[in-house]
Chains A and B, each alone.
Chain A
Amino acid sequence: MLKWLRLTTTALAVGGCSGPLSTLDTAGSAAASIATLWWAMLAGAAILTVLVMTLLALAFRRRPTPAPGGTRLWIGGLGVAMPSTVLLVLLGFALALGEQTIARKAAGVVVVEASAHQWYWDFRHPGMAGEIVTRDVLHIPAGRPVDLRLEAHDVIHSFWVPRLAGKMDAIPGHVNVIRIDAKEPGRFEGQCAEFCGLGHAGHRFRVVAHDAAGWTAFQRGEQP
């Protein structure tokens, strides 16, 4: 089922769901599993919509006597039992998925410090000879989990690279951590997602995911 959904996902992404900031055109594991969740929920929502609309339409058909069904059917069954079951299953699924996505302790995680400003991002990467600082371009190794430690220096911003993962706010006075990864080397667009004043629309950045050789070169200080 999941595999089928993933295949459909890819097919749909190719035909119209792609875009530099598309959450459906995924390139990281967090974004991919969230997209799967979305397609599953969309299918469920479609079925429920059809059910409700059909019941609604049938209420208007001409009939000789009032239709059957009392509170047991309408309220006990359709109103309480049905949604409770659907929601509990969905909730369990979503919690499990969230557990896989959050920045739990794991081996081989690359840690990058990100600080948000009105209206640019500074990224401090681990290099061979100390920190490597870049502005508005984040460098990561492809195929490895990367934790971003987010800080903000003025107002609240939000770090978001839709094709790789969900978003996380950068809040003054607090440090938040988000885990991202890119399956393949490439360039991915990022956008500040929390309203941060006049420059919010243009508060963009880019993620460059390197292959192993490229990452080593970057860490040595050789700008690609």
Chain B
Amino acid sequence: MSALSRHRALTAIWGSPRGWRGTVSSVNHSDIGRRFILAAFAFFAIGGVLAMLIRAQLATPGSAFVGPEIYNQLFTMHGSIMMFLFAIPMFEGLALYLLPKMLGSRDMAFPRLSAYGWWCYVFGGSILIAALALGVAPDSGWFMYTPLSSKAYTPGINADVWLLGITFVEISAVSAAIEITVSILRLRAPGMRLDRMPLLAWYLLVTALMMVVAFPPLILGSILLEVERAFGWPFFDPLRGGSPLLWQHLFWLFGHPEVYIIFLPAAGVVSTVLPVMARTRILGYGWIVAALLALAFLSFGLWVHHMFTTGIPHMALGFFSAASALVAVPTALQIFAWIGTLWKGRPELKLPMLYLLGFFVIFVLGGLTGVMLAMVPFDWQAHDTHFVVAHLHYVLVGGFVFPMLAGAYYWLPHFTGRARIPLLGEAAFWLILIGFNLTFFLMHLTGLLGMPRRIYTYPSDMGWTWLNLLSSVGSFIMAFGFAMFAVDVALQIFLSRRARRNPWGAHTLEWAMPLPAPAYNFASQPRVADGEPLAADPDLPLRLARGEGYLAEIRHGWRETMAVDVTTGAVDHVIILPGNTRLPIITALATGCFFLALLFGFYWLAPLPLVAVTVLGWRWAWTLGWREEIGPVPIGAGETALTHREAAGAPGWWGSVFLLVADGTLLGSLLFGYAFLWVVAPNWPPPELIAAGLPQGAVAALAALAGTVLTRLAASAGVAGNNAASSRWASLAVGAQAVVIAALLWLGLAELPAPTGHAYAASSWAMIAYGVLHAFIALLCAAFIRARIASGHIRKGRVLETSVAQLFGDYAGLATWLILACVLAPLVLA
């Protein structure tokens, strides 16, 4: 087969239909990645316009441009958009687009999940923007502190828009996190050991793992607050045993790691682009990986530094202050590793390097003010002033936007296949750099002179007038810079000449393909023997195009890509990925209907879309797989491998593991909340505790154990090819989970006080609801196994579906036991 005919055949398999059909059905990672990036940039523009309105209002004292009603929406939406609709999706887009290409793979592990995440992001973001246009946008700050965001003080729909819209968008964040993790761990080119991975993949792996653990606390907090607003369950109401501090803990338990989740991918871009600009290899690869791991963990011990003024005792503040100081060390390590790399090589002042220099200047200043704010006494003064506004913009714009702009100019030839028009980008750089510093450098002083955040106006005699005016002027200069960047990119896409194949002389695999990148990435997958494959073998692109790598053979119209051993990168199995489908958009629409029903208060209608999502989810799993015997398939170079349905540890199993890690974090946060309220909240102990319920508890516990064991029996019988036994065990497992659900509900209804009375009852009920939901999921899994045995999909040696069902069965059992222990604890201890 010639290279050209292979290209045509692969494009037919991996590409998307033209027109709207392709738009709604494509699951290709390059398509979805590009869409994420474009949409994130559009949201960045909207957030930027809001920022300009904020600066217009603050330019002069006593301004009558907007009132507090509008102003509060402006800054709330500016923060929320930049965090949730710009920064996170932007890096997700970059990861979706680049990761398979850098790892020598053909797609991400769960293409339909990427598409589902994309639609959830767009629909959720649209809800927020629509609310903004209609003047009912959230107005309690991006941090949504209760009680200000509670029903009593925000009676309108504004807070619900935030809670539901952001939770909707977070579905995409969690799915991207799981997908990125599994793709990096398993979907690499054969031979790419973990220590040969491009550094960006390490950064994204660490980021994605952090997201798996960081987002659940916020999702839980949002659910609890929405339930409080909608049904009056008083989790955060101090009069009924709730605590506003619980919200702050849950929010910042997410919110601080979030800062690093935003910074790390951008730092990964620096570690990728900078050595290429310096024509050398990065200094201290292993040290940087170690620093990343340290950052990932330490960043979870900082959240209370957002709460230094909430009256937490000094000793506890000390723990978090120390951790906040420590986290600067791995960051400093990276800074000096980068400078050392520049010293080692011969840096050239090309445009991406210019942006990297901007990053150094701004981010170092932001890091230093961060260390200052980590010191408790200084924070007591600076907290909630414009000093913090300056600091966070130095960190986020310096630590995210500048590296991303460097990355944009670095990878644009990859996206467009075209070269840049000279000088426009340099002009944009200087406008952004000067405008940024004019806006935010002065703001440190504004804050020290006492200007608090989030005030819509100020008197003229405070000494802030000229500082604010200069900041506003700077912000408009910066805005011109970004507009010029957009123009530059548009010109490059539509007008510029074609680019060379590897314009920067880089050595990572994403440059081992024609530009713009084809839908299938690699005509055949490389065998990697070096951290910089193109340096070791400059002819690699040609050989891959000729089909001299893995999986060059085209068969059955399958989308095939290799899965490797996590650590060694040895060939493990072949993954056959699903093709284009409308299931993701339809499922996202059904999910959206659920959120809209809650938003407009049609609670009776909300179960309908939930049923639809369940049915679609079933179909989602059902449409995969095949009945025929496959066995080992040839993969090239005379080797063979099993397909993923017959190999242990397929991506679906790994994805389920990480989903359950996220789910477990959510449960952990719920249990933390329960314990926190017991120890810290006012108006405890509650007037009424659980008085009986051991029999129901015993039934639920035994049934949960039975459900777990039966699912395991069904799984092992299924893999052994004993269909009749497997089917019988699965039916019994369905029955056991149904008993769990009934017993848990019976326990709640018969013995627990009403959830609206006290936070104790509300949190006990929340745990019961969690248990019921997971027993139901385990029930569906067991029923699915039964149906798949009947249909002939599960047969001897097919481990994937049964192993996933077993995971969910195990988890449901464990969760039920934990929940029963917590719900019944007051009874047993009393």
A residues in contact (CB < 8 Å) with B: 17-24, 30-31, 33-34, 37-38, 41, 45, 48-49, 52-53, 55-56, 58-60, 66-67, 69-71, 73-75, 78-80, 82-84, 87-88, 90-91, 94-95, 97-99, 101-102, 118, 150, 154-156, 158, 160, 162, 165-169, 171-177, 191-201
Inter-chain contacts of A168 with B (CB < 8 A)? 309, 311, 380
Which residue, B239, B287, B376, B377, has most C-beta atoms of chain A within 10 A? B377
Nearest A residue to B683 via CB reads A173
Inter-chain contacts of A17 with B (CB < 8 A)? 448-449
Inter-chain contacts of A73 with B (CB < 8 A)? 340
Nearest A residue to B682 via CB reads A173
Q: Which of B342-350, B475-483, B634-642 contacts A (4 or more CB under 8 A)?
A: B342-350
> Quick one: which of B284, B310, B360, B380 contacts A56, CB cutoff 8 A?
B360
Given A173-B683, A191-B450, CB of A83 within 8 Å of CB of B332: yes
Shortest Cβ gap from A124 to chain B (Å): 19
Inter-chain contacts of B147 with A (CB < 8 A)? 154-156, 172
In Å, the complex CA distance between A173 and B239 comes to: 7
In Å, the complex CA distance between A158 and B145 comes to: 13
Shortest Cβ gap from A93 to chain B (Å): 8
CB pair A56 B309 closer than 8 Å: no
The answer to whether the Cβ of B398 comes within 8 Å of any Cβ in the partner chain is: no
CB pair B449 A19 closer than 8 Å: yes
In Å, the complex CA distance between A211 and B801 comes to: 80
In Å, the complex CA distance between A158 and B382 comes to: 13
Nearest A residue to B307 via CB reads A169
Which residue, B346, B357, B368, B448, has most C-beta atoms of chain A within 10 A? B448
Nearest B residue to A199 via CB reads B68
Inter-chain contacts of A88 with B (CB < 8 A)? 325
In Å, the complex CA distance between A97 and B376 comes to: 9
Q: Can you report 16 A-B residue pairs in the complex whose CB atoms are below 8 A from each other?
A: A30-B380, A53-B364, A59-B342, A74-B283, A78-B332, A94-B321, A162-B381, A166-B377, A167-B383, A169-B310, A173-B681, A191-B450, A193-B452, A195-B141, A195-B145, A195-B453
Which residue, B69, B325, B375, B464, has most C-beta atoms of chain A within 10 A? B375
The answer to whether the Cβ of B750 comes within 8 Å of any Cβ in the partner chain is: no
CB pair A71 B284 closer than 8 Å: yes
In Å, the complex CA distance between A193 and B372 comes to: 19
CB pair A20 B325 closer than 8 Å: no
In Å, the complex CA distance between A201 and B242 comes to: 28
CB pair A45 B344 closer than 8 Å: no
CB pair A167 B384 closer than 8 Å: yes
Given A38-B378, A94-B376, A174-B682, CB of A23 within 8 Å of CB of B321: no
The answer to whether the Cβ of B148 comes within 8 Å of any Cβ in the partner chain is: yes
Inter-chain contacts of A19 with B (CB < 8 A)? 449-450, 462-464
CB pair B368 A45 closer than 8 Å: yes
CB pair B377 A94 closer than 8 Å: yes
Which residue, A66, A156, A160, A173, has most C-beta atoms of chain B within 10 A? A173
Inter-chain contacts of A160 with B (CB < 8 A)? 452
CB pair A80 B333 closer than 8 Å: yes
Inter-chain contacts of A55 with B (CB < 8 A)? 339, 343
In Å, the complex CA distance between A193 and B385 comes to: 8
Inter-chain contacts of B385 with A (CB < 8 A)? 23, 193
Shortest Cβ gap from B200 to chain A (Å): 19
> Quick one: which of B345, B384, B681 contacts A193, CB cutoff 8 A?
B384
The 7 closest A-B pairs by CB, nearest first: A173-B238, A166-B380, A21-B450, A74-B340, A176-B311, A19-B463, A79-B333
Q: Please name 7 further chain A to chain B contacts, defined as beta carbons within 8 Å, in addition to the given A20-B461, A59-B342, A87-B326, sorted by A numbering.
A: A41-B372, A52-B339, A52-B360, A70-B340, A83-B328, A154-B147, A200-B68
Nearest B residue to A172 via CB reads B238
The answer to whether the Cβ of B317 comes within 8 Å of any Cβ in the partner chain is: yes
CB pair B311 A95 closer than 8 Å: no
Shortest Cβ gap from B440 to chain A (Å): 15
Shortest Cβ gap from B345 to chain A (Å): 7
In Å, the complex CA distance between A66 and B344 comes to: 6
Inter-chain contacts of B452 with A (CB < 8 A)? 160, 191-193, 200
CB pair B335 A52 closer than 8 Å: yes
In Å, the complex CA distance between A206 and B152 comes to: 29
CB pair B344 A67 closer than 8 Å: yes
CB pair A174 B371 closer than 8 Å: no
Inter-chain contacts of A79 with B (CB < 8 A)? 287, 329, 332-337
CB pair B309 A22 closer than 8 Å: no
The answer to whether the Cβ of B454 comes within 8 Å of any Cβ in the partner chain is: yes
CB pair B339 A56 closer than 8 Å: yes
In Å, the complex CA distance between A94 and B322 comes to: 10
In Å, the complex CA distance between A170 and B347 comes to: 53
Inter-chain contacts of B18 with A (CB < 8 A)? none
In Å, the complex CA distance between A99 and B377 comes to: 9
B residues in contact (CB < 8 Å) with A: 68-69, 72, 140-141, 145, 147-148, 152-153, 238-239, 242-245, 278, 280, 283-284, 287, 309-311, 314, 317-318, 321-322, 325-326, 328-329, 332-337, 339-340, 342-347, 349, 357, 360-361, 364-365, 368-369, 371-372, 375-385, 448-458, 461-464, 681-683
CB pair B284 A75 closer than 8 Å: yes
Shortest Cβ gap from A171 to chain B (Å): 6
CB pair B365 A49 closer than 8 Å: yes
Shortest Cβ gap from B72 to chain A (Å): 7
Shortest Cβ gap from B538 to chain A (Å): 22
CB pair B462 A20 closer than 8 Å: yes
CB pair A173 B244 closer than 8 Å: yes
CB pair B287 A75 closer than 8 Å: yes
Which residue, A83, A102, A158, A174, has most C-beta atoms of chain B within 10 A? A83
CB pair B384 A156 closer than 8 Å: no
Given A22-B463, A195-B454, CB of A98 within 8 Å of CB of B377: yes
In Å, the complex CA distance between A172 and B342 comes to: 53
CB pair A155 B365 closer than 8 Å: no
CB pair B457 A201 closer than 8 Å: yes
Inter-chain contacts of B448 with A (CB < 8 A)? 17, 22-24, 38
In Å, the complex CA distance between A52 and B357 comes to: 11
CB pair B309 A78 closer than 8 Å: no
> Quick one: which of B244, B309, B336, B450 contacts A75, CB cutoff 8 A?
B336
Shortest Cβ gap from A199 to chain B (Å): 8
In Å, the complex CA distance between A88 and B326 comes to: 9
Inter-chain contacts of A172 with B (CB < 8 A)? 147, 238, 244
Shortest Cβ gap from B158 to chain A (Å): 12
CB pair A171 B377 closer than 8 Å: no
Given A23-B450, A156-B148, CB of A174 within 8 Å of CB of B245: yes
Shortest Cβ gap from A102 to chain B (Å): 5
Inter-chain contacts of B450 with A (CB < 8 A)? 19-23, 162, 191
Shortest Cβ gap from A12 to chain B (Å): 11
Which residue, B147, B378, B450, has most C-beta atoms of chain A within 10 A? B450
Which residue, A58, A82, A84, A87, has most C-beta atoms of chain B within 10 A? A87
> Quick one: which of A60, A83, A192 contacts B349, CB cutoff 8 A?
A60
CB pair B381 A23 closer than 8 Å: yes
Nearest B residue to A166 via CB reads B380
CB pair A91 B322 closer than 8 Å: yes
In Å, the complex CA distance between A17 and B239 comes to: 43
CB pair A200 B340 closer than 8 Å: no
Which residue, A21, A69, A118, A168, has most C-beta atoms of chain B within 10 A? A21
In Å, the complex CA distance between A78 and B331 comes to: 12
Inter-chain contacts of B245 with A (CB < 8 A)? 171, 174
CB pair B68 A41 closer than 8 Å: no
Nearest A residue to B383 via CB reads A167
Nearest B residue to A74 via CB reads B340
CB pair A69 B343 closer than 8 Å: yes
Shortest Cβ gap from B100 to chain A (Å): 31
Inter-chain contacts of A198 with B (CB < 8 A)? 68-69, 72
Given A22-B450, A80-B329, A193-B383, CB of A45 within 8 Å of CB of B369: yes
In Å, the complex CA distance between A67 and B283 comes to: 13
CB pair B371 A31 closer than 8 Å: no
Inter-chain contacts of B278 with A (CB < 8 A)? 59
CB pair B238 A174 closer than 8 Å: yes
CB pair B368 A195 closer than 8 Å: no
